[in-house]
Structure 1
Amino acid sequence: MNTIKQLPFRRNKINHAIAKAVAVSGVSVFLASQFPVSAHAAEKFALEEVVVTARKREESLQDVPIAVSAFGSDQLTAMGANETVDLVNRVPNMAYDGGGNALSGMGIRGIVTTTRNIGFESGMGAYIDQVYLGRPVAFNQPLADVAQVEVLRGPQGTLFGRNTIAGAINITTKKPNHEEFEGTAKATIGNFNTVNASLFMTGPLTDDLAGKVSVYSQERDGSAKNYFNGKDINTEDKKGIRLGLNWDASEKLELSFNADYLEQKMDRFFSELNYTPDFPFSPPAFSGDLGTLTTDPYSGDAHPNQSSQDGPTFENREVGGASLHVNWMLDNGMAITSITAYRIADFDLGADDDSRPIAGSHSLFGDSSDSFTQELRLESMDNEDYNWMVGFYYLDQTAEASRATSIATPAFLVGATNVNGFTLAPIGAISSESEIDTQAVALFFNSNYHLNQDLTLSLGLRYTEESKEMDFRQVNSTFTSHPSLTTAPDIDDEAISGNIALNYTLSDNSSAYVSASRGFKSGGFNPDIVPSADIGFDSETVWSYELGYKADLVDGRVRVNAALFFTDYEDLQVQRLAVTDVGVGFAINNAKAAEIFGFEGEILALLTENLQVEASVGYIDSEYTDFDNCGGDINAIDNFNSNVFTGSTLPINVESCNGNQLTLAPELTASAAVQYTQGVFDGELTYRAEWGYKSETFAEPNNFERTQVDSRDVVNLRIGYLSGDQTWSVAAWGKNIGNDEYEEFTWIIPSYNNVFSTYNIGATYGVDATYHF
């Protein structure tokens, strides 16, 4: 009922989105009229059918009543996509804050969750070969031996379940080849002394057993300069392996074993000081060669990828796991699927918090996570009237974390006693240790009923029980008023999620659907640098309503997929940097209500046999509709500021964020690509140009001007040659060829009025060489 009441007041926004839908539809009609094709020509070339597993069964992309962007291995190669984050510019309404792997935020349709600690889960789930990857540090997966990536937008609360309230990334790796031995070797060299190499091999081991192995390595020199010690920073060293075995035990029984391991080490450049006023405790960021940092408010681009920091900065991660898949076809045509998996996701990092050549503040973080999952599904046989699937899911996860932040003590306080009874040394520390044990159990059901030849009803339902127990201990020996404390809270949540959809066939090549979905994400904890023992937050829920259209037009040469949606969140979990009466800290609160209205459109067209055009657009209007006290207590902030320094302060005591744009949620995302292939000698020469755009965002819910991340657009180019026998290829490429060192993320320490930013590394370019055997 609340949704129906809200809609009339948003009519102007609805009209805006409908206008975009009409524009995209107009493009498809224009293409259809400008490039007519005879029946003979249509048989000669057309777009290939895309098969997805968005509902855990193989289906045509055009038949699934879900907004899905799918990328096959050939398309990933053409795009030069090496890891998951490379897809962000191509997927409408997908966003990534560029903050690395450990503390970054990636999301869909306005829900971008920056997960700083083990108590906060992402609103987007990521899966590899149907196995949940666990903590977000594992989400950015290499794509060296991937068969297909599917990005599902909107709540996926039935079949994917846990933490897919905004959407899911579904990665499928290549299966072992039972027929013949084959392989691919690839090498890349590029600027910043980039050297990448990968090798994939697969083939039969016995009559019934096939195997595969994939190894890869990626290395890069530093892309930023630290003037404190003269070193280049932001290096990368990544190595990994994937293994697979597939055993056809009988005509009806198949077993698959998959294992993967990734180790990545980076001299990570997390952020640099972007703006600081002339306060006693806020010295300038640079000295010597760079001079003094500008104090021009909102400058946003003082010295991209340049800094002067005395503390080590690094980010290391280890992620991996193993899984056993059993597929058993019963005599009655039904099928049983069992997926047993174990995964790890660990990282440690160091960050110079003050970004200056002084002993101001430095942090060392370390997280580790181990998870066991078991999924069991029973699937009906396909028939003319219906199909269904019923299943059980279990997760047991243990996550541990340590946090240690050193803080310099003002000289006049050295030797004094803090609130916890510690004698203040020149350098103090706030440290914490935490452990969270999570167990989740779910039962789910999904079905499709063909009501008549043109109309299909899809129903999905999932019941989830989830419990979390935490042990947390914090010790503070600094001059701040953060308490030393020990606490052991627990959470028990249960919820029903699911979806209902009607899919109507308009013609042989087009359909429309309408759906309603309910998603759920359990409550959690905030084991960070905290002001009190009250560090829990409640679960969040969402209702999403969607109207979609899918069509293959012009005899299969033009594909148009579009969706119009409205999303209504209740108790949305929001992370923010807050100032309390004991100091600055990261807080997680529930915004009582938030709404997102949006549109998505994707077009793929073969204008000629050799010319392909792609385009996508995503628009969202997001706002907190009920989020009070999001800026902290006004009296506590004023008292804290007046006791620490003198001078003007940034007004952060916002009592309400109502009407503000959601964190890291761009209003507009868009992309376009043109690809042309021509015969040269006995092979093919392919030219490809890509463009991607993201509008401005805010890095926190208060929408302060200084935490606005500006809009950006990038252009990528690629030209490649494939030999006539298709055994080797070579390609030259450039990404962000305009060399735009744009701002990707920003954050603020309100009490000192300091703004920190992370920037893109600028242009990258290189050459790929590939050999197939």
Structure 2
Amino acid sequence: MTVAAALQRLLAGTGLAVSEDQTQTGVVIIRAAVQAEVEKDDPGPDIIVTAQKREEKIQDVPIAISVFTAKTLDEQKIEGGSELLRGTPNVNFSKTNFASYNFSIRGIGTKALSVTTDPAVAISFNSMPLVRNRLFEQEYFDVERIEVLRGPQGTLYGRNATAGVVNMIPILADPGKFTGSLKLEGGNYGSMRASGMLNIPITDTLAVRIAGARTQRDGYDFNTVTNRDVNDRNLWSTRGSITWKPDSSFRASLVWEHFQEKDRRSRTGKQLCHRDPSPTQVGGVAMLPQNGGFFSQGCKPGSLYEDAAFGVPNGASLPNVIAASVGVSGAVGFTENFQGVFAIPFATDPFSAVVQSRDLRKIATTYDPQFRAKNDVVQLNLDFEINPDLKLVSQTGWTRDKYYSTQDYGRFQSIPIFTDTSQPGIYQLVGDNLVPAYNLLPGGVFCDPQLGCSRGYLSADLNRSKSRQWSQEFRLQSSFDGPLNFNLGINYLDFKIDEDYFVFNNTFTLAGMILFNRGTGQTGSTITQTCAPNQSVLANPGDGGTCLYIDPNPIDKINGEGHNYFRSRNVAHTKSYAGFGELYWQASDTLKVTAGLRYTRDIKTTTPYPSQLLLTPGYVGGGYVNSGYPALPDIEQKWGALTGRFVVDWKPQLSFTDDSLFYASYSRGYKAGGTNSPGIGTNQAALGFFQVDPRFRPEYVNAFEVGSKNTLAGGKLQLNATAFYYDYKDYQVSQIIDRGTRNENYNAQTWGLEFETIWRPTRRLSFNANLGLLDTKIGKGMKSIDVMDRLQGHDDWILIKPWLQQASNCVAPKALVLPYLQGLYIEHDPSNPIVTPQITGFCPFGGVLLGGPGVGYDPFTYTDVGQNQGQGFAANLSGNELPNAPHWTVNIGTQYTIPIDTWNVTLRGDYYRQGKSWARVYNAVNDRLRSWGNANLAITVERPDSALTFQLYVKNLLNDTPITDAFINSDDSGLTTNVFTLDPRIIGFSVAKKF
């Protein structure tokens, strides 16, 4: 053969041709010319969507929408909701604290964490909104398509769709034919997957479909203490549907989906910290070691990407550690010369010798995470054609969700910290006699009923919830031949949730036993057991009793009445009523007008259960009860909101396109307000707390959008473009203040551009790309306290840690604090071990000072901090960018199919990247999130004649570990930062068979 003939034989069937250049050099040129047979290429069927709750071609819908069919999901290896960002412009996703997630569209997501907070992106199952769901934790199976609608959808989808909608459309039973499929997969990390379905026609009008999926794999992270993988998966899902279609005018379907998971999934990633050491002097005044921790935050601001970020918090600054090392709350006895002996020695730092791994996938804790979840969705759909032009649709839905997750709260391994109270020479005074002190810490070990026995600091949390939802929607839809049509409906939703968040700490229990149950310590001489271990529960405020009830049960069997742990109970009930309608006017062959309105009435009732950590009646206790969690009166909130949209779309006949749609729209969105997590159930006069209004306002958005959807080159090329501008009022964002989520409202604007294209030059070759450009800005006059920087450059003020039963740091003038510290230092006499002057708390919050006599500090007399009771100086947020809003996102992908005999080999590559963004509204150095990317490859070998498919894929090809988001914990836990990361490199191989 000639060279040209050989190449032609090799390229046969690929769509490429060879020609020989008739020049003296005889060079053979391979040209990417389309052969004659390719001219017959079919661009493929039109994608049908239900974005407007009726079936329409995607290119005819005047909404920015990205659609993922079952085939697209498989080709791009999008296996769950968290990966939809790879195919949708201006979308960002990350897990967040407390088992929640943030799916944001065009810079708007769910940054508020209260149980009464609605998601800004409505998550729907077959067009039914779900308040609580597992659609971002389970993996997709037997899915017809996923629709991602960008922009407010307040007319048809309702109250909580201010940013957009993610609608998962499952495949339901079809009486048409018997079909089935089975897919088996294995991969690295011991991954094993199985999924399949059967569609069984019972009669010509009745069918049943059963589908299921199972995933099991080892953990992506490693615990260097227990030597176990964590963050593994063991989950399964099943879906059953029955469809009855007795004639062409009626269709009924009943769907049930169940999801279940039980594994060692970790809710959060590693904790980072720029260590903030305890000062030895402040303002030139020498500091006693036992007081230094009061002037350290634990962690200070710093970039999450520096080596210093892998530090550990200053454990000597944690109020619960300080309490067990100083004063009456830490005294376990005294020596013969009456020198105090404390449960934890002065200035002990449980993490002083701890070095964190720089690997974001390695943690060090004695406590492995546990995760359990169950979710059920039941849906009944009835479609009745009153006549060929009028259809009545009924959709009834019920869901329930149960959730249980516990993990190490700090993820830092402690050194031994407890005093050995079994050693000789530790006494208590009984009458006039010295007798051995109560042996509370035998061998330097403390046994906590929830966390077990340890020589060091232990902490864990528990998040558990149960919820249920009922919903009903009726719609009347027309399809007249005339210029006017409509879509009218009413909607009702009823949602209840009971959620608990616990934090357990062995120093909480230890301090409670010393301070309340082993003697009050008021004289500093008696350390005796004065309370029964199982003190009876007191149910009502004011019942009295100074003994602190310590729950004797392990974590998985707690009774929930203990005051030796932090418990935030959140109970809420939401009722929502709505009436909506859209009118469609075909003004001409090319011009259409859509006008829609929706009125929503929301009623939210919250039952507050204030937290009771280390609270009992009395001055030192500062509470009303010694056990239990009494409820305060219900908080009922009501809102009525009118939302809607107005769209003009134009479909001209253009010479350079096959089909074009141009549209301009205005839409109004609304998301209900709610209440923050309950406050602290304290006697405000005793502890100086100032309760704030627990309610936060609803948010509203006015959105303006213009767009164009174009089909060119005989259907081979789609090119869509969108420009938008949003004006937000009272956007909801939360942070941790006083051990609770505090939601704040900000005005903001967002604007940007989006481009999407799909090009199929041949049946075998395709390209897809999308680009999102985004800018955001917080409105003028917006302010908030940054818990990481409460001073905001005011050098004449100083930050101080709180007393044990309080929660948040405070600020005070140096002019008041320094003389007080100087007095303590002068009072100190090294030759006299009896005198150990110490701060027992300096945060007033309302004018009450626990720091000692002779210092008068009333924050209300100071203009800048009076309105927030001394919590700090507010940061100016005007002009800052919204969190989780990267300036750009880009995704490019290509695939090429090579036919080999009766097989098709398809090569697929995708690359996604997003720009820099911020984790919080403060845009501080510790908030910056770097840009990151994700490359994915797949090789699919398919034999169409036998419906047999093999696939080898690699996800996160470069094994990057970007930080996708970050969350700062409370003041009294050291202001550590939880970070969330991308999954590591995943390699998988699957075999699938359809029949």
Common fold by TM > 0.5: yes
Deviates more, 1:327-336 or 1:135-144: 135-144
2:265 counterpart of 1:106: no
Are the structure 2 counterparts of residues 319 and 529 from structure 1 closer, same or farther at C-alpha, using a change threshold of 3 Å? Answer: farther
> Do the aligned partners of 2:243 and 2:252 also contact (CA within 8 Å) in 1?
yes
**Equivalent residue in structure 2 for 1:435, among 546, 571, 574:** 571
Partner of 2:921: 701
Shift of 1:659: 1.4
2:698 counterpart of 1:562: no
Are the structure 2 counterparts of residues 663 and 478 from structure 1 closer, same or farther at C-alpha, using a change threshold of 3 Å? Answer: farther
Partner of 1:758: 980
**Equivalent residue in structure 2 for 1:377, among 475, 493, 504:** 475
Partner of 2:961: 741
Partner of 2:751: 597
Distance 1:225 1:523 in 2: 40
2:364 counterpart of 1:308: yes
Shift of 1:683: 1.2
**Equivalent residue in structure 1 for 2:81, among 80, 84, 87:** 84
Distance 1:294 1:128 in 2: 41
Partner of 2:401: 345
**Equivalent residue in structure 1 for 2:493, among 388, 395, 400:** 395
Partner of 1:497: 643
Shift of 1:465: 0.4
AA of the residue aligned to 2:935: V
Q: TM-score, normalized by length of structure 2?
A: 0.68
Partner of 2:667: 517
Distance 1:300 1:493 in 2: 49
2:514 counterpart of 1:415: yes
Partner of 1:527: 677
Partner of 1:273: 271
> Do the aligned partners of 1:409 and 1:478 also contact (CA within 8 Å) in 2?
no
1:286-297 superposed matches below 5 A: 294-295=310-311
**Equivalent residue in structure 1 for 2:893, among 670, 673, 684:** 673
1:93-132 superposed matches below 5 A: 93-99=90-96, 102-114=99-111, 116-132=113-129
**Equivalent residue in structure 2 for 1:685, among 888, 894, 905:** 905
AA of the residue aligned to 1:430: F
Distance 1:764 1:47 in 2: 31
Deviates more, 1:143-152 or 1:97-106: 97-106
Partner of 2:595: 459
SS of residue paired to 1:249? strand
Shift of 1:138: 4.4
Distance 2:153 2:469 in 1: 21
1:570-649 superposed matches below 5 A: 570-578=729-737, 583-591=738-746, 593-626=747-780, 627-631=782-786, 638=800, 640=802, 641=809
> Do the aligned partners of 1:275 and 1:756 also contact (CA within 8 Å) in 2?
no
AA of the residue aligned to 1:603: T
SS of residue paired to 2:84? helix
Partner of 1:18: none
SS of residue paired to 2:475? strand
Partner of 2:610: 474
Are the structure 2 counterparts of residues 261 and 122 from structure 1 closer, same or farther at C-alpha, using a change threshold of 3 Å? Answer: same
Q: Deviations over 1:213-261 (max 9, x none)?
A: 0011001111111112111111111111101111012331111111100
Q: Deviations over 1:522-549 (max 9, x none)?
A: 1112226668463211111100000101
Shift of 1:307: 1.0
SS of residue paired to 1:369? strand
Are the structure 2 counterparts of residues 616 and 492 from structure 1 closer, same or farther at C-alpha, using a change threshold of 3 Å? Answer: same
Q: TM-score, normalized by length of structure 1?
A: 0.87
> Do the aligned partners of 1:309 and 1:357 also contact (CA within 8 Å) in 2?
yes
Distance 1:217 1:769 in 2: 15
Partner of 1:660: 880
Task: Give the number of the structure whose residues are more often strand, by fraction.
Answer: 1
Are the structure 2 counterparts of residues 275 and 434 from structure 1 closer, same or farther at C-alpha, using a change threshold of 3 Å? Answer: closer
**Equivalent residue in structure 2 for 1:318, among 356, 374, 377:** 374
SS of residue paired to 1:445? strand
Question: Considering only aligned residues, what root-mean-square deviation do their CA atoms show, in Å?
Answer: 3.2
Count residues in correspondence.
Answer: 724
SS of residue paired to 1:86? helix
Are the structure 2 counterparts of residues 350 and 549 from structure 1 closer, same or farther at C-alpha, using a change threshold of 3 Å? Answer: same
2:716 counterpart of 1:544: no
SS of residue paired to 1:155? coil
SS of residue paired to 1:112? coil
Distance 1:645 1:191 in 2: 52
Shift of 1:656: 2.2
SS of residue paired to 2:610? strand
AA of the residue aligned to 2:567: S
Partner of 1:145: 142
Partner of 1:7: none
AA of the residue aligned to 1:463: Y
Partner of 1:357: 413
Deviates more, 1:346-355 or 1:496-505: 346-355
2:216 counterpart of 1:219: yes
AA of the residue aligned to 1:527: S
Shift of 1:305: 0.8
SS of residue paired to 2:243? strand
Partner of 1:170: 167
SS of residue paired to 1:237? strand
Shift of 1:382: 3.4
Shift of 1:70: 0.6
Unmatched 5+ stretches in structure 1:
1-33, 285-290
SS of residue paired to 1:76? helix
AA of the residue aligned to 1:600: E
SS of residue paired to 1:160? coil
Are the structure 2 counterparts of residues 42 and 165 from structure 1 closer, same or farther at C-alpha, using a change threshold of 3 Å? Answer: farther
SS of residue paired to 2:926? helix
Are the structure 2 counterparts of residues 119 and 222 from structure 1 closer, same or farther at C-alpha, using a change threshold of 3 Å? Answer: same
Shift of 1:77: 1.2
> Do the aligned partners of 1:36 and 1:554 also contact (CA within 8 Å) in 2?
no
Distance 2:930 2:666 in 1: 34
Distance 1:701 1:301 in 2: 29
Partner of 1:14: none
Distance 1:393 1:196 in 2: 38
Are the structure 2 counterparts of residues 296 and 366 from structure 1 closer, same or farther at C-alpha, using a change threshold of 3 Å? Answer: closer
Distance 1:93 1:172 in 2: 22
Partner of 1:336: 392
Shift of 1:40: 8.8
Shift of 1:348: 1.5
SS of residue paired to 2:984? coil
> Do the aligned partners of 1:697 and 1:708 also contact (CA within 8 Å) in 2?
yes
Distance 1:510 1:571 in 2: 37
**Equivalent residue in structure 1 for 2:255, among 258, 268, 271:** 258
Are the structure 2 counterparts of residues 755 and 403 from structure 1 closer, same or farther at C-alpha, using a change threshold of 3 Å? Answer: closer
> Do the aligned partners of 1:325 and 1:338 also contact (CA within 8 Å) in 2?
yes
Distance 1:38 1:678 in 2: 15
Distance 1:383 1:465 in 2: 35
Shift of 1:555: 1.7
Q: Percent identity?
A: 23
Distance 2:35 2:664 in 1: 34
AA of the residue aligned to 2:667: S
Which structure has the larger Rg over C-alpha atoms? 2
SS of residue paired to 2:384? strand
Shift of 1:199: 1.1
Are the structure 2 counterparts of residues 357 and 292 from structure 1 closer, same or farther at C-alpha, using a change threshold of 3 Å? Answer: farther
Unmatched 5+ stretches in structure 2:
1-30, 279-292, 300-306, 314-354, 415-456, 521-540, 552-562, 625-629, 681-688, 792-796, 803-808, 812-838, 843-870
Shift of 1:338: 0.5
